[in-house]
Amino acid sequence: MRNNRTMRAALAVAFAVSAAVAQAQSAAPLKFAPGANPAIWRGSDASGPIVHLPSNVTLPARLEGFTRTEVAAATPEDVIANYSWKEAPTEIAVSVYLFRPAGMAEHRLKGSVAAFAALNPSAFLWSSGPFDIPAATPLHSSKSVFKTGIGPDTVMDYLYFVAMGRWTVKVRASLTGVKEDNAEGRLDAFVRALPWAELLAANGACTGAACTAPASEMFRSHFGEMMLGKLLDQIMKFDPKAEAKLPIVHRVEAFGSEIAVRRAEQGPAVYVATVPRLATYRIVRLPDPVKPLFVEGYGRMSLEKPLYALLIDTGGGMLATRFYNGEPSVETFAEAVDRMVMIGTGAPFLPVKDFADTLAE
């Protein structure tokens, strides 16, 4: 279990941590130098607005109740600004990274998650999914939440990743002294209040992953995966005999055999696939009252579409292992079934390192 004081100190010198991680992952490690280098910044380190000269983006001294404490730079186009918020016993330490993507592993989402995992091996995934930012060009970014410890020693860590193309914004935050749900809301408001108009102007044409929203996307929720299977088992009723007569719309290989994927037009299930002597897999649409579980409280996400779940029925109860914002395609379902058959559902407390392994390069 991490010591909270140690975590706060680590975030207070986030540029040093980043340099250490970079040294482990890059042939040419970056070294972050603290202070407002006049060749990179215009303004004071910890007071008043400060302008990042290469992007012409102004970072305020105070934003949504957070106070800027320092800035640092590895290169003119790879910089950090640290902010903090405190209302005893709750404290939030934030590092805002602004960089032009280069060859560093941490310049990608997968590398950023892996770097966090290397520094925090006891943390596990709490949630991961979309995070919308209203702007002239609406941004559909990602937000991952990691948890360490229980009770008063709980630490919630956050990673927001906004890839716009020419520039990327990454926000790393640590919440200690967890007391009330609104603390995460404060952090979300801070991220949404960053100077996105200036950031988008510096970026030019928005071409990154945050610039478009897919028709359907998977999201993860530890609490949902732990609890929803049991709940849905009680309220959703399926008829395997009737399902066996549904039209076949796809096939998936499993144990050397072709497994039929069937499509339902009525009832809670959308797709069904049965692997003999193993399990029945279903994509189901979630009841609307379930949505607050994912959009309120800790680990909240931006989920505006109908929600779906991948259910696994082993005959002894159901597991909810994956969730989708928007109806997934039959190919997505088939790929998920193939993965579940080959490697299983994964641990209920998913280590962050294992989560990083599931992300695209």
- Is residue 203 located within the same domain as residue 240? no
pLDDT in tens, the chain (361 residues): 444 434 333 443 343 344 443 433 443 557 899 999 999 999 998 899 999 999 999 999 999 999 999 999 999 999 999 999 999 899 999 999 999 998 899 999 999 999 999 999 999 999 999 999 999 999 999 999 999 988 778 999 999 999 999 999 999 999 999 876 689 999 999 999 999 999 999 999 999 999 999 999 999 999 899 889 888 988 898 999 999 999 999 998 877 789 999 999 988 999 999 988 888 999 999 999 999 999 998 899 999 999 999 999 988 788 898 999 999 999 999 998 888 765 555 566 899 999 999 898 7
pLDDT for the residue numbered 18: 43
Cis peptide before 29 (omega within 30 of 0): no
Phi/psi of residue 152, each to 5°? -65, -15
Q: What is the Cβ-side half-sphere exposure of residue 111, based on CA atoms within 13 angstroms?
A: 16
Provide the domain limits for residue 75.
4-211
- Is residue 341 located within the same domain as residue 295? yes
Domain boundary among 173, 192, 211: 211
- Is residue 46 located within the same domain as residue 172? yes
- What is the rounded end-to-end Cα distance, in angstroms, of the chain? 30
- Is residue 184 located within the same domain as residue 236? no
Spatial neighbors of 41 by CB under 8 A, at least 6 apart, are: 50, 51, 52, 53, 71, 73
- Is residue 142 located within the same domain as residue 268? no
- Is residue 70 located within the same domain as residue 207? yes
- Is residue 29 located within the same domain as residue 71? yes
- Is residue 79 located within the same domain as residue 131? yes
Phi/psi of residue 113, each to 5°? -65, -45
DSSP tag of 37: -
| Rg, C-alpha atoms of the chain | 22
- Is residue 26 located within the same domain as residue 157? yes
- Is residue 57 located within the same domain as residue 203? yes
- Is residue 224 located within the same domain as residue 183? no
- Is residue 221 located within the same domain as residue 205? no
Domain boundary among 187, 211, 235: 211
Domain boundary among 211, 228, 262: 211
pTM for the whole thing? 0.90
pLDDT for the residue numbered 103: 83
Q: DSSP letter string over 152-207?
A: GG-EEEEEEEEE-SS-EEEEEEEEES---THHHHHHHHHHHHS-HHHHHHHH-S--
DSSP three-state, residue 106: helix
Number of domains in the chain: 2
